[in-house]
Every structure is written in C-alpha cells, then in structure tokens.
C-alpha cells in the first residue's frame, strides 16, 4: 500500500514539475535559471524512479548475479541526480567546521538508508524518495523567497537610469551622479524624476505610488518642490536640482531598503541561537537512539539487539529533525513585512524596528510639520489703523530679510514681489521681532515683547495663533494673526492610533500654550506640552519613557532638524520623509514617505500582523516537529512520513510568511 502511495505522489511531482516548467517558459521572468535547472532535476529523478519502480527487482534478477549491482547503480544515479548538491553542501560544511545543519542531517539520513538497503538487499525507494521530496520542498521555499524579493524589487524599481540635460537645444542623457546641484534637468512624460529639485517650468501630474503607496496622481507646476522616484505622467517638466543624486530621496530609500535585512529582530536572533543548539542536540539524540536501545536489549534484557531497526529509527529521527521551517520562514516573515510596509509607503530600516513598532503603546508627536502642515497663513487682521492690505504690505517689507516661516507667510499674503529698495535700517531683535525703515516710516513688527521694548501700548488678541503686533512711527497700527494649518488626516490619525491599541498620545511643541492647547483639543491628543526648546523635548521624552508600562514601547514622530535628538532617544523614531529634514530621516527608524500621519497606525498594524505570522510559524513548526520526533523514536513514523511532515510544515510556514506582503486588508 505504501509503495502505491509513494508512486502516486511521484507521478504528481512529475506532472507538477512539467507544469511549472511550462509556466516558467511562457513567463520568462517567473523563475530563475537555477530554479528551472532544479525543476528539470526533479522531473528527471522522478521519471527515472518511476521507471525503476515499474521494472521492479524481478527485471534485474534476469541478469543473474550482476542484476543486483546494476539495479543499485541505477538507483545511485537517480540519487546523484537529485541529491548531489546536498552532499556537496554537507561536505563543505564539514570542511568549514559547520557540521550541524539541515544538509548534513539529510545527507547522513539518506546515505544511511541506502547503506541499510544495500546491506539487506532491500528497497532503495525510500532513501531516494526522501531526498526527492526534500528537494521539492526546497524548491518551493526558493520560489517563494524569490517571489517576495521580486515583489519588493518591482515595488522599489525607482532607481533612475539617466537624467536629461539640455545642451545646444538637444537633450543629452547623463549619469544622475554627474548632475551638480543647481543644474536644470528635463523630465519627459513616462520618465522617472532622477533627482530632487524645484520645478522651474512646465505643468504635469506625477505618479508617486512607488514612494508613498498612494495611487492618486499629484499635480506639479512651476515653483513646486519635487522629489526623485516619482514618474512624470503628462507634461514636460524642467527641474532645478537642489541635491546631488547620492543625497536625493530615491538614493536614501534604496539605501534604507537594501540595508534593512542587516538589523535582525530578537525573534530572528532567537531562531539563530536555537538552531545552533538544536541541530547538534538532535544529532547526538539520534546517535543515542541508534546505540543505547540495542545495548539495553542485549545486556539488560538478553534480547536480540535489532541494530537495523534502531539505526533506521535514528536515521528517520535525523530527517524529521531538520529545522528548515523555522530557519527559513522567520527571516522571510520579517522580509515580507518590510516589503509590505514599503508597498504602503512606510520604510522600516530593519526587522528589529518592525518588532519594536508592534509593541508601541505611547506615540509622541512634534506639532509643526507632523500634525500640522508647517505652512503658516495669515487668517486675521485686527484693530488696523489703515487698510488691511497696506498693513500686510508694511509687515512683509519689514520682514523681507528674514527666512523664518512667519516672514514667508507675510510675504505670501502680500502676494507681490518684494522691492528691497523700499526697506532700510533693518534691525532684527531675537525673540522679539523686526524694526525697519519702510518708505521712510519706522515700522516695528513683532510680539508683545517688542511693543513693550519700544514703549507702544498694544491691544491683546484672543485669537489662536501667532500674533504680529504692528507699530508705525511709534503708534500702534493693529495686529496680524498667523496660524499653522492642521493636516487634513491628523484627527483621523489620532483616532486610528487609539483603535490600533495605542494607549496614550502626546504632543510636544515650541508654540505658545494657547495655540498648542487648541490644536491638541481639535485633534483629540491626550496630553500636550508647549513652549519647549529642543532640549526640553528630549527631557519630556525621557520622563515619558520612565512613566510608560514596562514592556510598552514609545514612538516619537517628527520632521525637523531639531527633532533628530528626540528621534534617536525614543524606543522607535518615525520621521516624515517627503518634506522632513535629512537629519530627521537619518536619525529615525521608520520613515513615512508621504508625510501622512495616518500611515503611523498602518505601520503598527503591519508590524503586528508580521509578528503574529512569526509566532504562528514558531509554534506550529516546533510543535509538529516535537510530535514527529516522538512518533519516530517510538517507531510510529517511518522515514518518508517524517520527510513529508518536515517538508509540509516548511511549505506551510513559507506560504504563511508570504502573507506579510499583503497589506490591503489593514
């Protein structure tokens, strides 16, 4: 009965190999050359083994005394076809002092089974079938890993091959590394943006899916900042580069993804340590199983030793003990998790950070540029002694020498090109504001401290925002209200974090208390600290780390240069990647490529799904492995059943690991 089952399975394997070869031939990129060769080996070994089974031992008996050795030679050829690489790897491991691995276990078990069959002039089918089914499992594992790598590679296929520079009226393709900062590059429809820059000419739409996971196209026009890795879809764009290729967004993303696998999680370290202890242990256990029971039977019980039975059990024990499912599926689970996160626009720098992210219970936010857009707008003019437009004009001219966001918002509200010839005697007073001569008038623009400093009575404002008090020629002229704009998804992001199991949200900001409290209340943030300097933020995070539950992790989300120290101090740092500073991205462990705070809860859910898969694989693989080893030791499972259990668990674990790539259901 067992022989019929094995023959049936061999036919299925042969048919499967033929089908996969046909699929691979039609879809040229479906399999690697090595995988195709392995499939041909599986097919050849299966067909030869089936042929030998059909012929049977009786056919060789007709050759007389030589028949036995001809039959053995045929089976050895079959064994060599399917198992020569396993034997090579086992021998290489022995030579390098790394004896105890799955190749060694499989080589010893199958060679031992062949030796027993030769000694007893028995059936060689089992030893070769074991190696064959093991190689089938190895092929499935190789194909699954390759598929996950191709998915990530396709997803991150954003490396530009060239940049277009216009010379003598013609476009010339050059290596992106050769393009200097300040150069004008031309990006035509269908091409990737090779380097970060500012659009100087043209209107188009951009596909940012590879960077952000966002399928909706984005508009681009003159004056807009544009990051590398996007695909230009419609019009021709001329872009003035602001970074070298090596410092551009696309280079940083590729570097993060390529180096992510070097940072291993605790689970991966555990599996590595487990395998180093487990494999030698089962080898010694198999040796004990082969020797001790026969000796006990001989000397203690006076029975026949039954060496053949116990050696066979020991060899079967070795086959069943292969830790392939654990060693392969756990790193693959994290690799797939990182790939799934990348697909959603979240770059995780290593599997250790993915594991930490899954345990996050406290999320601390910087305000400006994280929960708000970092775009200040004039949204009110109060108590003006002149036309509102004129007051804004004076404020914009007085602030024209400053690069502060407040100054930029005043200049934007003015809406005209600044005529610097109208401004003189600019005096910037740190922490107060600016005093300047505008059209011969002394204009003071700043906070209440500046008004007190120059002795001008001012009118308090009860609006939330930054208040710019104005005085012209020593007389109060009104005040301008400027406020940051909340990101449209910030409120939803806080709610999503609560739904994802985050216990506490905190906001840290250097803004005034009134402004900070208003934003925190609007968004639903649990706790807020205002009027903080960068060093104060580090102290607050230190305090929050002390307050949180022991096993909970704290994440800090920021975007500016001043957030870099806090990002490094938190259990896990999350940076805004699209508009965030290079320092913040460098210091962070996780980067959100579209600056959307909603992606934080997505990242946490992805990490938790990945860890669930890891724990599922660990429990199932170890549990089935232990049950199988006990059954083998007690004689209830033979070698081919052991390899089926081992290969089956490995295939299930690998397929389960691949689920981490898919994030649409989160």
Secondary structure element (H or E) that encloses residue 477, with its range:
strand 475-486
Q: Are 523 and 491 in contact (CB under 8 A)?
A: yes
Largest CA distance in the chain: 123
Which string of b and e fits 88-124 if b means at least 16 CB within 10 Å? ebbeebeeeeeebbbbbbbbbbbbbbbebbbeeeeeb
Pairing of strands 360-366, 225-226: unpaired
Distance CA 369, CA 523 (A): 15
Cα Rg of the chain, angstroms: 35
- Within 234-308, strands assigned E span 237-241
Helix axes 65-95, 102-120, angle to 10 degrees: 160
Number of other residues whose CB lies within 10 A of the CB of residue 486: 16
Catalytic position from the list 366, 559, 563, 594: 366
Catalytic annotation present for 366: yes
Coil, strand or helix at 119: helix
Pairing of strands 218-220, 204-207: antiparallel
CA angle 126, 132, 134 (to 5 degrees): 100
Secondary structure element (H or E) that encloses residue 614, with its range:
helix 598-633
DSSP secondary structure code for residue 28 in this structure: T
Instruction: For residue 564, give Cα distances in angstroms to 94, 359, 575.
Output: 48, 22, 9
**Can you tell me which residue has the tokens 């626009």?**
345
List the one residue out of 461, 463, 445 whose CA is nearest residue 453.
445
Instruction: For residue 452, give Cα distances in angstroms to 210, 438, 532.
Output: 53, 21, 23
Distance CA 236, CA 252 (A): 25
Distance CA 208, CA 227 (A): 9
* Residue 476 CB burial class (10 angstroms; 0-12, 13-18, ≥19): middle
DSSP secondary structure code for residue 229 in this structure: T
List the one residue out of 323, 401, 373, 425 whose CA is nearest residue 579.
373
Instruction: For residue 104, give Cα distances in angstroms to 289, 331, 441.
Output: 18, 21, 89
Instruction: Give residues with Cβ within 8 angstroms of 349, minimum separation 6.
Output: 256, 259, 260, 263, 588, 589, 590, 591
Pairing of strands 527-529, 504-508: parallel
Q: Catalytic residue positions?
A: 366
């Amino acid at each position: 009965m067992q022989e019929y089952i094995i023959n049936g399975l061999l036919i299925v394997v042969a048919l499967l190999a033929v089908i996969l070869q046909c699929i691979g031939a039609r879809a040229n990129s479906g399999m690697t050359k090595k995988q195709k060769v392995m499939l041909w080996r599986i097919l050849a070994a299966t067909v030869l083994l089936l042929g030998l089974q059909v012929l049977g031992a009786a056919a060789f008996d007709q050759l007389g005394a030589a028949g036995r050795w001809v039959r053995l030679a045929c089976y050895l050829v079959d064994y060599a076809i399917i198992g020569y690489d396993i034997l090579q790897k086992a021998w290489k491991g022995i030579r390098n002092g790394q004896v105890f691995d799955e190749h060694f276990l499989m080589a010893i078990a199958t060679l031992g089974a062949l030796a027993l069959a030769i000694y007893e002039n028995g059936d060689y089918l089992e030893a070769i079938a074991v190696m064959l089914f093991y190689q089938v499992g190895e092929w499935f594992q190789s194909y699954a890993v390759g598929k996950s790598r191709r998915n990530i590679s396709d997803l991150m296929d954003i490396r530009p091959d060239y940049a277009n520079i216009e010379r003598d009226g013609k476009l010339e393709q050059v290596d992106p590394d050769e393009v200097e900062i300040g150069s004008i590059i031309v990006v035509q429809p269908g091409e990737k943006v090779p380097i970060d820059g500012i659009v100087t000419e043209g209107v188009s739409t951009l596909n940012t899916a590879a960077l952000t996971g966002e399928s909706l196209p984005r508009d681009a026009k003159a004056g807009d900042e544009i990051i590398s890795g996007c695909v230009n879809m419609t019009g021709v764009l001329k872009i003035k580069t602001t970074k070298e290729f090596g410092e551009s967004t696309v280079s940083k993303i590729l570097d993060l993804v390529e180096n992510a696998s070097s940072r291993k999680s605790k689970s991966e370290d555990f599996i590595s340590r487990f395998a180093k202890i487990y494999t030698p242990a089962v080898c010694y256990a198999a040796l004990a199983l082969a020797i001790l029971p026969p000796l006990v039977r001989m000397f203690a019980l006076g029975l026949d030793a039954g060496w053949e039975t116990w050696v066979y059990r020991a060899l079967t024990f070795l086959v069943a003990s292969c830790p392939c499912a654990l060693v392969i599926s756990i790193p693959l689970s994290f690799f797939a998790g990182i790939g799934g996160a990348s697909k959603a626009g979240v770059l995780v720098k290593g599997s250790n950070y993915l594991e930490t992210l899954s345990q996050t219970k406290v999320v601390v936010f910087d305000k400006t540029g994280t929960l708000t857009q970092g775009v200040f707008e004039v949204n009110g003019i109060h108590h003006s002694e002149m036309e509102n437009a004129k007051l804004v004009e004076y404020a914009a001219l007085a602030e024209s020498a400053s690069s502060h966001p407040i100054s930029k918002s005043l200049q934007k509200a003015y809406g005209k090109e600044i005529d610097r010839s109208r401004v003189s005697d600019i005096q910037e007073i740190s922490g107060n504001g600016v005093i300047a001569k505008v059209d011969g008038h002394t204009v003071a623009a700043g906070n209440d401290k500046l008004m007190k400093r120059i002795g001008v009575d001012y009118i308090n404002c009860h609006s939330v925002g930054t208040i710019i008090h104005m005085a012209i020629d020593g007389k109060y002229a009104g005040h301008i209200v400027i406020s940051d704009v909340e990101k449209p998804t910030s409120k939803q992001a806080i709610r999503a974090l609560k739904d994802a199991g985050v216990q506490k949200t905190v906001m840290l900001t250097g803004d005034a208390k009134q402004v900070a409290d208003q934003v925190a209340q609007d968004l639903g943030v649990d706790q807020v600290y205002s009027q903080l300097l960068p060093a104060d933020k580090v102290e607050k995070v230190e305090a929050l780390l002390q307050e949180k539950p022991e096993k909970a992790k704290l994440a800090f989300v920021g975007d500016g240069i001043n957030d870099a120290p806090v990002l490094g101090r938190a259990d896990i740092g999350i940076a805004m990647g699209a508009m965030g500073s290079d320092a913040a991205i460098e210091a962070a462990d996780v980067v959100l490529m579209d600056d959307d705070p909603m992606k934080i809860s997505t990242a946490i859910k992805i990490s938790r799904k990945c860890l669930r898969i890891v724990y599922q694989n660990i429990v199932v693989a170890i549990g089935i492995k232990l049950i199988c080893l006990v059954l083998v030791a007690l004689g209830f499972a033979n070698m081919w059943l052991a390899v089926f259990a081992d290969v089956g668990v490995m295939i299930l674990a690998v397929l389960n690991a691949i689920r981490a790539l898919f994030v649409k259901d989160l």
